[in-house]
Structures are given as C-alpha cells and as structure tokens.
C-alpha cells in the first residue's frame, strides 16, 4: 500500500472510530434510562405492595391483651405460589444473581442465561413485595447485566461485552441508590476488577444517565436520613475501630448463615413446594412476633440510626434478620443479600452507638456509628468497600460521614477477607469450583478445552506395522515418537525410536499407558501435564480415539495467545 493510500484511508478510519464511539455512548444512554425505570419500579413497587398489605390488617388475633397482625401469612403464601409458578413456567431449576454477573464479566465463553436472569428478577420482586427478607439491589444488578446480554443479541455495535455488562450494573447501582459515582466504582471494584481508561466513558454515561433520569422523572426519598452536622472524628476513632471488628463478626455470621442454610436445605431433600411452605410458616411466625425483620427493612434502618430501638430489641433484630434472610434465600424466596446486609449493619452500629453513649460519647456523634457499620457490613458482603463508602458520601452528602465509614469499612473488609473471603459472591463461585482469586487469566485458561489447540504433526502407526517400517516412518518424519492405533483409530500406545532399536517387534516396544490428554480437558490441566512431561508430544484422545498430539510449545503458545487477548481488551 502506498503512502497516498494510507493518507486517504486515515479520514475514513477516524470517521469509523467516531461513529463507533457515538454508538457506544448512545447504547450506554439507553441502558441508563432503562435501569432508572426498572430500578424505581422494582424498589417502589415492592415497597408499596408490602406496606399496603401490612396496613390492611385483614387477619389478626388477640393474645394476652396484644393484637397480632397475621397478614404476613397471606402475602408470603401468595408470593410462594407465584414464585413456584415462575419456576415451573420458565423451567428454572436454580436462580441466578450477581455472582453470575461477575462470572460473565470474568470470562468470554459462558454468556448469561437470559431466561434465568429475567425469571430471577421477577421472583425477587415477588419475594420482596410479599414480605420476604430479601434484598432488591442484587436482583437489579443482575437484571442490568442480563438486559445488556439481550441488547447485544440484537444490536450490532462494536463494544466489549464485558464493558457493556458493567454499564448495566453501574446503571442499576446508580438508579437504585441515587449514587452515580458509586455505580461506576462498583462496576470496576466488583465486576471488571481492573482499570481501563477506554471503558470509563460508556460506564460513566450509563451511571450518570440513570441518576439524571431519577432526578427528572422520579420522586425518590433518600434511603438514609441523617442530620446534617459537623462530626469530630477524634473521639469516634476508638468506637469506629470496635464497630469495624464487630461488623466483621456480624458479616461473617450473616454470610455463613446463608451458606449453612443452603447446605441444610439440600440435605433436607424437601421438594420446592415443601421448602416454600416451610418458609411461609417459619418466617411468617417470626414476622408476626417481630414484624420489623420482614420485608426490605428500609424504614427500620433509619429508625435504628435515629436510636428508636432499645439495646435488647437491637440484638433481637440483628439475630432475627440474619435468620429469616438465610431461611428465605434457601427455601425458594429468591432475592439479594445486600439489602439485608445494610439492615444487619445498621443494627450492629446501633448496638455500638448505645454502648458508646453509655461510655460517654456525645449523642450527636453516635449517628456516625450505624452509618459506618452499614458501609462496613454492606461493603464486606458484596466485596466492594469503596463502593459502600461512596454510597454513604453520596447519600449523606457528608465528607465526615464518609471518613467514619472508610475507617470502619476497610477494617471490616480486611478481617472478613481473612476469615471468610473477598465477598459472598466470590464464595458462591468458589463453591462452584470457580476461584476468582487466581485472576481472569486463570478463569479463561480453565475454560479453554484442549481440543481448541492446533495439533502438531505426528506419526501414526498400525498395530501390525513391521518393526523396520516403523523405524523408517520415524526417520522420514524426522520424529522420535509415534502413536500406535487399531483400525478404528483407538490409541493402543506410544513408541519411541530408542525403544524400537532395542525391540524385536513393534508390539514389544509399545508403551501402553502413556501420558495423555482428553479432548475435553482444560488448558490449565494441559499445562500441569506438560510441566511434568518428558518427550516429544502428548497424545490427545476423544472416547479412546487418537485425535491429535500436542507439544509443550503448542500448549504454551495457546496460553500466550489468551494472555495477549486479555491484555488487548
């Protein structure tokens, strides 16, 4: 190509690049608008259904001079029936959530299941509206990721799939919390887990548009209502450290209870209808006695911040919320873990605030402790402490509250990482055999089958090949090893030129148990096999038939290709 041709193509490349950028930003705007509508419909709709059902007081009983509202049994029963129908009609055997969104971003082979994602979001809305102790933000995050998968199927715009999923997730956090900076942070901190300048623009646009749509079209009440006051950090530091340690304990207890509940539900061997009905009975009974543990708990969070509960009641709310959330999530009432984690954090911080006031802390400073614990427990559960800190700053508009939350959240996350893991979602994936601690490269290598590696040339011999002919075949191919197969290409064994020189027949020289790879083995396994292998190549078999042979160079060249691809992305 001449220099003139290159010059003439430069304006076209520039136009193509600008068109591509404009298309990506337009798509990010659409994602932000959709997430604003869906987030508001989800959160406000679930809150309205639950609050309306609980104020009707259709069924109640009088016991010992106290009247108990039994409407929760009706709403939970209706929710259980609807959730069962969603599972049956959509053929869903397992709900999907933020862990699946994170995994979708960390690899390129397994896209999100759209039917499962949409069904899970619908089930979460039903569970939250029916009074189940489940969160709303996790399902919104997963809906944002699932929606981008839908758009990618029908919109032909060149955009990194992983970045686009992060756009949907950022829009969900931004719209759900009215916190656009936190939305961008969460996309990087919990999903992408790497900084990419090229990805910032569409993610930021989706988050900002979702926030702007909230401001323009929806009248949202702030999630956290705290007094606007100056906070002196020095007298708070000892109590913030104690709050961080206690938040770590409650975070681990909360996440461990959910995991233990899953194991118990699996061992029970109950059918899904039986599990759902047990949830109605158990959670309904607890909610009748302690109604504050049911539902989303947003009102109760603010009441705990305002010190509306006594110390004994706070312990009841803390233990009760952990129990009913674990029970709901493991008996079919699907939902998020972040919303209840904020409740658990508020209860933890309120307990410390009560103790701190008795120890001499000024009452107006005690507001910072529940806020800090909310950030600490929430950040530890989702593995995004910086996001939780930014949510506090954006919701309170206070730098001082943010500093208090930072000290508590970082300490809590450090302890939680040591005794549980990076997050509840990472632990979910680890339970499935997916270890994100090893990095995105390892995930990609562990999903790449050996069959995708281009095979080297190899010498194949029939079982009845004469010894001299076998030696000549190796010499002609300039190879030191050959594979002996039967008429159906089934691998009998391996021979090498030195063994042939010492044998009196081909059969005598065959190594019948050579090191080999299955065609569906993963690249990580091939690397381990190759690192302990001495020889020219490793045979690859499929159902016993020889389909190729790989040298160490073949295997590690594939590894280098994957590494280069990830660096380019």
What b-and-e string marks burial along 501-534, b requiring 16 or more CB atoms within 10 Å of the CB?
eeeeebbebbeeebebbbbebbbbbbeebbeebe
Q: Can 234-437 and 448-568 be said to share one CATH topology? A: no
Residues of the chain with confidence (pLDDT) below 70: 1-9, 53-58, 60, 62-65, 67-68, 229, 569
- List the chain domain ranges: 17-217, 234-437, 448-568
| Cα separation, 58 vs 73, whole angstroms | 11
- State the pLDDT at residue 72: 87
The strand pair at 538-542 and 517-518 is best described as: parallel
Q: For residue 540, what are the β-bridge partners?
A: 517, 548
Q: Domain 448-568, what fold? A: CBS-domain (3.10.580)
Residue with tokens 């929710």: 79
Q: Which class for 430: exposed (0-12), middle (13-18), buried (19 or more C-beta within 10 A)?
A: middle
Q: For residue 60, what are the β-bridge partners?
A: 69
CA 170 to chain CA centroid, Å, is 14
User: What predicted TM-score, i.e. pTM, was given to this entire model?
Assistant: 0.86
> Residue 62 phi/psi, 5° resolution?
-105, 120
Q: Please check whether residue 388 is in contact with residue 376, taking contact to mean a CB–CB distance below 8 angstroms.
A: yes
- State the pLDDT at residue 57: 66
CATH code matching the domain that covers 234-437, chosen among 3.30.1240.10, 3.30.930.10, 1.10.3080.10, 3.40.50.300: 1.10.3080.10
Q: Residue 97's closest CA among 163, 34, 143?
A: 143
Q: Residue 445's closest CA among 26, 23, 109, 105?
A: 109
- State the pLDDT at residue 163: 87
| Cα separation, 358 vs 352, whole angstroms | 10
| Cα separation, 165 vs 105, whole angstroms | 7
> Residue 492 phi/psi, 5° resolution?
-90, -40
| Cα separation, 6 vs 4, whole angstroms | 5
Q: 17-217, superfamily in CATH? A: Clc chloride channel (1.10.3080.10)
Q: Which class for 57: exposed (0-12), middle (13-18), buried (19 or more C-beta within 10 A)?
A: exposed
Q: For residue 309, what are the β-bridge partners?
A: none
What is the rounded (10 degree) CA torsion for 504, 505, 511, 512?
Answer: -140
Q: Please check whether residue 179 is in contact with residue 173, taking contact to mean a CB–CB distance below 8 angstroms.
A: yes
| Cα separation, 325 vs 260, whole angstroms | 12
Q: Please check whether residue 404 is in contact with residue 231, taking contact to mean a CB–CB distance below 8 angstroms.
A: yes
């Amino acid at each position: 190509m001449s220099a003139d041709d290159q010059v003439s193509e430069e304006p076209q490349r520039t136009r193509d690049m600008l068109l591509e950028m404009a298309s990506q930003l337009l798509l990010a705007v659409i994602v932000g608008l959709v997430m604003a509508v869906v987030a508001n419909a989800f959160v406000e709709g679930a809150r309205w259904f639950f609050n309306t059902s609980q104020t009707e007081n259709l069924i109640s009983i009088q016991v010992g001079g106290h009247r108990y509202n039994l409407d929760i049994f009706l709403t939970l029963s209706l929710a259980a029936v609807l959730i069962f129908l969603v599972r049956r009609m959509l053929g869903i055997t397992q709900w999907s959530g933020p862990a699946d969104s994170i995994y979708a971003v960390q690899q390129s082979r397994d896209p999100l299941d759209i039917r499962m994602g949409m069904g899970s979001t619908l089930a979460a809305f039903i569970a939250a509206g029916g009074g189940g102790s489940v969160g709303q933000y996790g399902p919104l995050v997963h809906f944002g990721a699932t929606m981008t998968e839908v758009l990618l199927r029908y919109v032909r715009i060149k955009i990194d799939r992983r970045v686009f999923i992060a756009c949907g997730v950022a829009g969900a956090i931004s719209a759900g919390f009215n916190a656009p900076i936190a939305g961008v942070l969460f996309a990087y901190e919990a999903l992408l887990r790497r900084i990419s300048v090229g990805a910032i623009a569409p993610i930021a646009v989706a988050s900002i548009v979702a926030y702007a749509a909230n401001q323009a079209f929806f009248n949202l009440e702030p999630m956290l209502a705290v007094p606007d006051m100056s906070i002196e950090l020095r007298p708070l530091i000892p109590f913030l450290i104690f709050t961080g340690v206690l938040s770590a304990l409650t975070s681990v207890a909360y996440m461990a209870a959910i995991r233990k509940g899953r194991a118990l539900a699996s061992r029970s061997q109950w059918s899904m209808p039986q599990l759902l009905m047990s949830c109605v009975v158990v959670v309904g009974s607890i909610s009748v006695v302690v109604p504050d543990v049911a539902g989303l708990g947003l009102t109760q969070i603010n009441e705990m911040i305002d010190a509306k509960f006594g110390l004994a009641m706070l312990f009841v709310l803390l233990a009760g919320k952990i129990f009913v959330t674990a029970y709901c999530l493991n008996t079919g009432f699907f939902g998020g873990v972040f919303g209840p984690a904020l409740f658990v954090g508020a209860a933890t911080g309120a307990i410390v605030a009560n103790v701190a006031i008795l120890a001499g802390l000024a009452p107006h400073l005690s507001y910072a402790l529940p806020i800090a614990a909310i950030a600490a427990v929430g950040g530890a559960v989702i593995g995004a402490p910086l996001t939780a800190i930014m949510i506090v700053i954006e919701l309170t508009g206070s730098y001082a509250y943010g500093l208090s939350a930072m000290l508590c959240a970082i300490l809590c996350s450090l302890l939680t990482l040591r005794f549980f893991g990076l997050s509840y979602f990472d632990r979910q994936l680890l339970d499935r055999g997916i270890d994100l601690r090893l990095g995105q490269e390892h995930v990609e290598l562990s999903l790449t089958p050996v069959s995708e590696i281009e095979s080297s040339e190899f010498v194949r011999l029939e079982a009845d090949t004469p010894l001299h002919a076998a030696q000549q075949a190796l010499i002609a191919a300039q190879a030191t090893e050959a594979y002996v197969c039967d008429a159906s290409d089934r691998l009998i064994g391996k021979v090498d030129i030195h063994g042939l020189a010492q044998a009196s027949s081909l059969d005598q020289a065959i190594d019948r148990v050579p090191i080999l790879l299955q065609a569906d083995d993963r690249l990580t396994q091939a690397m381990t096999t190759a690192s302990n292998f001495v020889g020219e190549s490793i045979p690859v078999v499929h159902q016993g038939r020889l389909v190729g042979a790989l040298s160490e160079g073949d295997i590690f060249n594939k590894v280098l290709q994957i590494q280069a691809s990830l660096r380019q992305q």
